[in-house]
Structure 1
Amino acid sequence: MMTRLGWGAAVALILTFLTIFFAWPVGAMLLRGITDDAGALDLSRFGEVLTTGRTWDIAGHTLVMALGGTIGSALFGIPAAYILYRTDFPGRTILRSITLVPFVLPTVVVGVAFRALLGPNGPLGFLGLDQTTWAVIAAMVFFNISLIARQVGGLWQMLDPRTVEAARSLGASRARAFCTITLPALTPAIGASAGLVFLYCSTAYSLVRTLGTPGVGTLETEVFRQTQTFLDLRTAAVFSALQVVFVLASVWLTQRLAHHTTTALRLQQPHRQNITRADWLPLSVTMFAVVVIILWPMFSLVERSLADGDGGYGLHNYRLLVTSPGTGFAGGATAAQALEHSLKIALDATMICLVVSILIALVLTRRVKSRLLSRAQQWLDVFIMLPMGVSSVTIGFGFLVSIHAWDPGLGQSGVFVPLAQAVVALPLVVRSLIPILTAVDPRQRHAAAVLGASPARVFRTIDGPYLLRAVGLAAGLSFSVSLGEFGATSFLASPDYQTLPVYIVRLLSRPGADNFGMALAAAVVLGVVAAIALLLGERIRPRTIRSTS
């Protein structure tokens, strides 16, 4: 009886947290667009917004950038999948590690890195791409090359090579064998990963803001503009609803593309072959992606942050982080103080996220015999993953709208920033915990219970050691995500208690060499701190846990 009460309380706490801090804000945002100030149904604002040419220009620009980022990621990611997962050569492990760099870095850091590379004084400044749509697409490709390479490469390395070898022996060229045999087999993985990339690109709010919001902007930047500049919450809600439609369409497309499984394919243990001269094209494309798209922006960021403006190098920009709030910058906080704020908020968000994530992981991995309870676990899993499919801008704006009717001043007091960041990080952290807890053999719990152990002791002695090994990685992931979160935080942060990502974007919007230099230096600091947090978690990552046979 006590066990059932305990599990019931855990589920109630999970549902209460997600309802109050996710479903209610998002629902309040959507409701704000279809009701008037008195709460009556009013669709007139939808009509006004949807009949404006600028609205469709913004929607079209959002679509173009998302498609551009998806196509570019696929063009570089598929050759990288072959080189990094199907071939074997000295340095392959290092090359694969480099492609994982984007997973460590906050999006604001990457945006500033591309400003350093493409800016007037950057190595590629002569191309005139700074603060253009092409710059945003390039930054999107930076983030998503490795996603496609990992998903496609994971399948590619398990395909049976004998089918291709048979086709080649019958006279088929290398290109024809690839197009008729390998490519159809890889289509489900390519489609599913491309759908995810499109989802991420259509919600790349911080990249667009950091890179100067080129053109007419995106649906997300328009939500911010209507909220912060014009204080028009109803119009912002309409644009946010359109952005949700984009996200839902991306999720639907991803599910449709991933529907076809690879169960009919002939798979085997991971297979790699020695690289040959015939692989020069995919190798060249992969090396270009690694050197130009991934490494060059990061080296440019560090190099430009050390430039002192007189043709030399020094720590001038880094000293300004401690001593200066920035020329013409609103507020008197320094970047060092903003970093302190970010660390405190990220710590609070991590504690909240860990408590809820551990409860969720325990509930989802608990073996149940009832079909009804099993179905309830599946629906809970879907509900938990919804924050990953909803833009952080929608979550932040939803907090602002839902709180505005209650207390207009509370929305931007900063109180809800850790909660919003915890919601954003929650799906990723849960996914890092579930594989570890799944490794617990249920027979161990049963044996302990038969020997008289109480439910609390079973949890402490059986689940506890597994959970402790996973908590470090989960904490590092949550802290890193929270530290770099910008979308929701930009709506909710207090003007007197800014986080470092918000501070960097504001510095970029101010003229002056010192402001830009400080933004560069602050981005380096933010990237290093986020990487350290994640790597510390990785240091106590659990070893492979084998279930007892």
Structure 2
Amino acid sequence: MAPPVAFFAVFFAYPVAAIVARGLRDGSTGGWRPGHLTQVVSDPDTLHVLWFTVWQAAASTACTLALALPAAYVFARFDFPGKQLLRAVVTVPFVLPTVVVGSAFLALLGRGGLLDEWVGLRLDSGVWAILLAHVFINYAVVVRTVGGLWSQLDPRQEEAARVLGASRFAAWRRVTLPALAPSVAAAALIVFLFTFTSFGVIQVLGGPRYATLEVEIYRQTAALLDLPTAAVLTLIQFATVTALLAVHARTMRRRQSALSMVPAEQTARRPRGAVEWVLPGAVLAVTALLVLVPLAVLTLRSFDGPDGYGLANYRALGRITDGGTTTATFTVPPVDAVGNSLAYAAVATLIALVIGGLAAAALTVRTGAAAGTGAGAGAANGRSGAEGGSEGAVGRLVRGFDSMLMLPLGTSAVTVGFGFLVALDEPPLDLRSSWMIVPVAQALVGVPFVIRTLLPVLRAVDVRLREAAAVLGASPLRAWREVDLPLVGRALVVAAGFAFAVSLGEFGATVFIARPDAPTLPVAVARFLGRAGEVNYGQAMAMSTLLMLVCAVTLLALERIRTHPSGEF
């Protein structure tokens, strides 16, 4: 637990506390301003923003689960042509900058969009465009998180229930669903946190009528320069996320169980007959409409130059000046942002795997069970009752540690970015001029994905396997290598893919700390979108398409990594 705790204390708690404290203190007297806190919390506008933030996050999560769970089953249990490519493609929306996603859906669903031209229907005037864009972004979270565990569940358990007389649905409800519950809950939590802190999508598609806490924090900070109000809104966001994580941790603690798991390659098969092709066909059709169509619109717009369709937008990316103007958007060619993004994301992924892997290993210990039996065991062996109480204290400590690790997903990226600039400006933590500040900020978002991907699989490993290895003389390290690694190897690859993808597309904090001479792809896209003119918009679409292609190629390469039966990659 020590390295993850130290990492989050230095690079998350300290910067966030620094920026919030600066906002809540009176600049002239240096004292606290509790009256302002009460005023903002009781403001009807604040309550309306909070209600809409929670409502749209819950609705987005429900829609994502409804559409993505069937896809998770298809990817886990069936083999079909192009499966690896499609699984990589559905992850691409998750790493696209949210402002680009909003622009793509505006082109698809707004005035003059494809839907308006074909059937005369517009969806940008209500909340449906926001919900669809959120499903588009988070579709892969459910497919990969739930599908990763589902693909390793032993199908013979469900088959045994069928032999004993259970219907197909009853066998799934009584056997498979309880085994998947922790993974489904983890995916739902991630989706909710990401939509709860939604910024770019709401900014583009919501307009003045819809605003989340994240949008309001940005408006108060960047537009109105009202740091005290922004600090109070950050505290409200933080408190809501903390309460949600506490409920999630308490619920998951009651659902821990060991599962019978097999390699994923042994559970997937080709559909047999026309009837079994119905579900994969329907899932592929929904995936095409939900994921491929917006990506196709984005790609089409990237080729739409000032002189018609062509490569003009891509050629302009190699020049420092843009659109023929004399004012440069970048001090380096924008295409250099591709290399910057890949380098930053690689370092951030390594940090996230180390920190997240250690945290997941610490959380695997079944302290809840130990706490429940500690007092009885102590009495049976003549120990004091205080020893059983200490087990309970350790259990509560670990559960709090679990919730703490998810807080970066529910904390304003604007606050984190400003916090880095305010707090990490003095030795020995003077990172403002160091390139490491970017991957560290990106790793903060990647660590929760590593933990939530590895934890359900690690907790499903039967502890008796480790005990048997220890009895046979294996050291703890060898027991982990021989027992755990072969079972969690695929989950480790999925976690690495998620961490890399999230780091590649992180925008909220990176936009404040990336150096002008080393921009990332999302920052480059945002700079182009922030400048007027069709030329800049076309180059933004070209940069977004490059980001999409880089992500797809990387994820496809990860999809081809498999674990050998011996446990080696």
Give the TM-score of the pair, scaled to structure 2. Answer: 0.71
Match in the other structure for 1:117 = 108
Structure 1 residue 143 corresponds to structure 2 residue 140: no
Match in the other structure for 2:89 = 101
Structure 1 residue 423 corresponds to structure 2 residue 444: yes
2:43 to 52, 60, 68: 52
Give the conservation status (yes or no) of the 8 Å contact 2:528–2:536. yes
Aligned pair in 2 of structure 1 residues 195, 99: CA closer, same or farther (>3 Å)? same
Tell me the CA shift for residue 394 of structure 1: 2.8
Give the conservation status (yes or no) of the 8 Å contact 1:429–1:478. yes
Tell me the CA shift for residue 133 of structure 1: 3.6
Give the conservation status (yes or no) of the 8 Å contact 1:384–1:427. no
1:332 to 330, 333, 346: 330
Tell me the CA shift for residue 48 of structure 1: 2.5
2:546 to 502, 522, 525: 525
Q: Distance in 2 between matches of 1:392 and 1:210?
A: 21
Structure 2 unaligned segments of length 5 or more: list them.
Answer: 371-386
Q: Distance in 2 between matches of 1:473 and 1:331?
A: 36
Tell me the CA shift for residue 162 of structure 1: 5.7
Aligned pair in 2 of structure 1 residues 526, 236: CA closer, same or farther (>3 Å)? same
Alignment of 1:151-170 (within 5 A): 154=150, 159=158
Q: Distance in 1 between matches of 2:541 and 2:314?
A: 9
Give the conservation status (yes or no) of the 8 Å contact 1:421–1:485. yes
Structure 1 residue 320 corresponds to structure 2 residue 316: yes
Aligned pair in 2 of structure 1 residues 101, 254: CA closer, same or farther (>3 Å)? farther
Give the conservation status (yes or no) of the 8 Å contact 1:338–1:500. yes
Match in the other structure for 2:401 = 383
Match in the other structure for 1:292 = 289
Q: Alpha-carbon deviations, 1:195-225, whole Å to 9, x = none?
A: 4432332123344346576633211122122
Alignment of 1:10-159 (within 5 A): 13-32=3-22, 34-37=24-27, 38-80=29-71, 91=80, 94=82, 98=86, 101-104=89-92, 105-108=94-97, 110-118=101-109, 120=111, 122-126=113-117, 127-130=121-124, 133-148=127-142, 154=150, 159=158
- 2:408 partner letter: V
1:246 to 240, 253, 260: 240
Aligned pair in 2 of structure 1 residues 515, 466: CA closer, same or farther (>3 Å)? same
Structure 1 unaligned segments of length 5 or more: list them.
Answer: 1-10, 169-176
- 1:107 partner letter: L
Give the conservation status (yes or no) of the 8 Å contact 2:95–2:551. yes
Aligned pair in 2 of structure 1 residues 111, 413: CA closer, same or farther (>3 Å)? farther
Q: Alpha-carbon deviations, 1:86-112, whole Å to 9, x = none?
A: 7x6x73x64686355333441315445
Give the conservation status (yes or no) of the 8 Å contact 1:84–1:96. no
- 1:397 partner letter: T
Give the conservation status (yes or no) of the 8 Å contact 2:341–2:521. yes
Q: Distance in 2 between matches of 1:121 and 1:307?
A: 15
Give the conservation status (yes or no) of the 8 Å contact 1:36–1:42. yes
- 1:74 partner letter: L
1:335 is paired with a residue whose SS is coil
Q: Distance in 2 between matches of 1:476 and 1:264?
A: 25
Give the conservation status (yes or no) of the 8 Å contact 1:486–1:501. yes
Aligned pair in 2 of structure 1 residues 210, 381: CA closer, same or farther (>3 Å)? farther
Give the conservation status (yes or no) of the 8 Å contact 1:118–1:124. yes
Give the conservation status (yes or no) of the 8 Å contact 2:71–2:143. yes
Tell me the CA shift for residue 429 of structure 1: 4.0
Instruction: Name the count of aligned residue pairs.
Output: 515
Alignment of 1:191-230 (within 5 A): 193-209=187-203, 211=205, 215-230=209-224
Match in the other structure for 1:342 = 341
1:506 to 524, 527, 533: 527
1:289 is paired with a residue whose SS is helix
Q: Alpha-carbon deviations, 1:286-326, whole Å to 9, x = none?
A: 34421210111112222221233555x32111112222554
Tell me the CA shift for residue 279 of structure 1: 9.0
Aligned pair in 2 of structure 1 residues 348, 510: CA closer, same or farther (>3 Å)? same
Q: Which is worse superposed, 182-191 or 109-118?
A: 182-191
Give the conservation status (yes or no) of the 8 Å contact 2:218–2:414. no
Aligned pair in 2 of structure 1 residues 259, 474: CA closer, same or farther (>3 Å)? closer
Q: Distance in 2 between matches of 1:506 and 1:331?
A: 7
Give the TM-score of the pair, scaled to structure 1. Answer: 0.73
- 1:317 partner letter: N
Give the conservation status (yes or no) of the 8 Å contact 1:33–1:46. no
Q: Distance in 2 between matches of 1:186 and 1:199?
A: 23
Give the conservation status (yes or no) of the 8 Å contact 2:364–2:458. no
2:287 is paired with a residue whose SS is helix
Q: Distance in 1 between matches of 2:558 and 2:34?
A: 48
